[in-house]
Amino acid sequence: MTATTRTAVERLAPDRLFIGGEWVDARSGARLATYHPATGELVAEVAEAREEDVDAAVAAARAAFDAGPWPRLDAADRAELLWKLADAIAADADRLARLEVLDTGKPIREAQIDLRETVDAFRYYAGWATKLHGQTIPVRGAVLNYTLREPVGVVGAIIPWNFPLLMAAWKVAPALACGNAVVLKPAEQTPLTALELAALAARVGLPPGVLNVVPGYGETAGAALVRHPGVDKIAFTGSTAVGRQIGQLVAGTDKALTLELGGKAANIIFEDAALDQAVEGIVNGIYFNQGEVCCAGSRLLVQESVVDVVIEKLKDRLATLRVGDPLDKNTDVGAINSRAQLEKIEELVASGVAEGAEIYQPACQLPERGYFFRPTLFTNVAQSHRIAREEIFGPVLSVLTFRTPDEAIEKANNTEYGLSAGIWTEKGSRILEMARRLRAGVVWANTYNKFDPTSPFGGYKESGFGREGGLHGLLAYVRLEDR
């Protein structure tokens, strides 16, 4: 396959911003380029939104919300339109998955999972549009007291590069189901599927201004969206450092805020676990999407009595992982998203070696071009090591051990993060006890990285606040107004 045919995926969306139902250039004329991480080839150049473009997008969203048909539409009609959008995404899933691979470097098989989950999210939230009930309240006196669930207004959605379309769906689907208008800023590295989403939304008849897409940089377009007085809510997914800055900017304003941030999840294997199944789950938990996953199971806690056998099984399994061309359907681990991310991973891995942990990497052949990193396993890791504390956001697993359930809990909770955790044991009562004591928003047992739009997802501690998915994810986009 030649370089040009490889990156040539037909695109519906022009290389422009989508504002008020029109495809427009950035006022400044600025453009940003996106590259395929597996080769470094240019995929596309798109208009780069700056503050004045964000102003225009917020104005369009304001007009759509304050005076347009969308929030006033019958809920059943909003539901129908969201369902049509889901159908349009499903019909176009192969093309969109390929585009996602070109922008992110993730394996095509995993991009196809993203597409299925994206369609699921739109269908699930389409169903909620007609089920946003308020309550009647038995107050004293001859009064009718009731609550209404009303949309918050204009939502500024800011998303990362690891699951571009899925993270857009997790915000756009519930926001639109409730009747909000959205300004979506995709990550600078991965703007393409957000633009495609806008093109499909326009095709199925979403009114102008209800969904606006403004690719751009965080420091300019993202910050302008966060500061904008015309925005009623910020929904952010990204790093804890940026989330903290956004929290400070929003504090003291009347904006609503949800933050989905980083993680340093522990997967805990007890000696009675089904070890082969556990090892499979651990591998999926850390090497899925090259480990560029907020809930990646990046710390493995193994009960001491089985640590040798677990490490042996892990090494055997690692040796079978196919690292390489993300467009190849047999690839398990694709390319790291960017040179900057690769360098961050390399630096943290070097710190692990320097601090005395023992490194294992299978002897697989890496492609000559592109940003690739071998699946990596560290043993002899101490809790004080940087690789046991910091989010690496790469295919790197740190193995620690424990003797008792109390020690497992103590170590698992010994992190500033609290997004997710995993437990592997055949003992039901242990699962329930551990799930209660782990300070994590999501706890999986005998499975990992399992997502469903019906179930809330989100963090404790420095992993953020608010939930996406399920009813909780829906209620993040309404105000409860008493009348």
Distance of CA 46 to the CA centre of its chain: 22
User: Which residue matches tokens 């099984």?
Assistant: 313
Decide if 481 contacts 151 (C-beta within 8 A): no
Among residues 411, 51, 429, 397, the alpha carbon closest in space to that of 219 is found at 51
Site string for ligand NAP, 32-71 (x = CB under 6 A): ----------------------------------------
Residue 173 sits at the vertex; the CA angle it makes with 99 and 212, to the nearest 5 degrees, is 70
Q: Which amino acid is at 461?
A: K
**Selected binder of ligand NAP within 126, 187, 192, 392 (CB under 6 A):** 187
Q: How far is the CB of 203 from ligand NAP (least distance, A)?
A: 25
Q: Which residue is nearest to ligand NAP (CB)?
A: 218
* Strand partners for 378: 359, 398
Q: Which residues contact 54 (CB under 8 A, 6 or more apart)?
A: 183, 185, 214, 216, 221, 224, 225, 228
Q: x/- binding map, residues 278-317, to ligand NAP, per CB under 6 A?
A: ----------------x-----------------------
Tell me if 234 sits within 8 A of 257, measured CB to CB: yes
- Residue from 260, 292, 391, 462 carrying the catalytic annotation: 260
260 is catalytic: yes
Which of 238, 281, 291, 473 touches ligand NAP (CB under 6 A)?
238
345 binds ligand NAP per the rule CB under 6 A: no
Report the run of H or E that residue 401 belongs to, with start and end.
strand 396-402
User: Comparing C-alpha atoms, which of 177, 215, 223 is closest to residue 80?
Assistant: 177
Find all residues with CB under 8 Å of 13, minimum gap 6, and list them.
23, 192, 195, 196, 198, 199
Per-residue interface string for the shown chain with ligand NAP, residues 397-436, x marking contact by CB under 6 A: ----------------------x-----------------
Residues 465, 261: Cα–Cα separation, whole Å = 8
State which of residues 35, 70, 122, 161 lies at the interface with ligand NAP (CB under 6 A).
161
| Interface with ligand NAP (CB under 6 A), residue from 71, 153, 262, 291 | 262
Looking at beta carbons only, is 164 or 281 nearer to ligand NAP? 164
**364 catalytic per annotation:** no
Tell me which of 48, 294, 391, 468 is the catalytic residue.
294
Phi-psi region of 370 (alpha: psi -120 to 50; beta: other; left: phi over 0): left
Give the residue, chosen from 226, 256, 392, 443, that forms a contact with ligand NAP under the rule CB under 6 A: 226
Q: Which of 107, 218, 394, 473 binds ligand NAP (CB under 6 A)?
A: 218
Query: Could you identify the residue written with the tokens 């891995």?
Result: 349
Binding flag, residue 213, ligand NAP (CB under 6 A): no
> Does residue 260 belong to the site contacting ligand NAP (CB under 6 A)?
yes
Contact positions vs ligand NAP (CB under 6 A):
158-162, 185, 187-188, 217-219, 222-223, 226, 237-239, 242, 245-246, 260-263, 294, 391, 393, 419, 459, 464
Q: Catalytic positions, please?
A: 260, 294
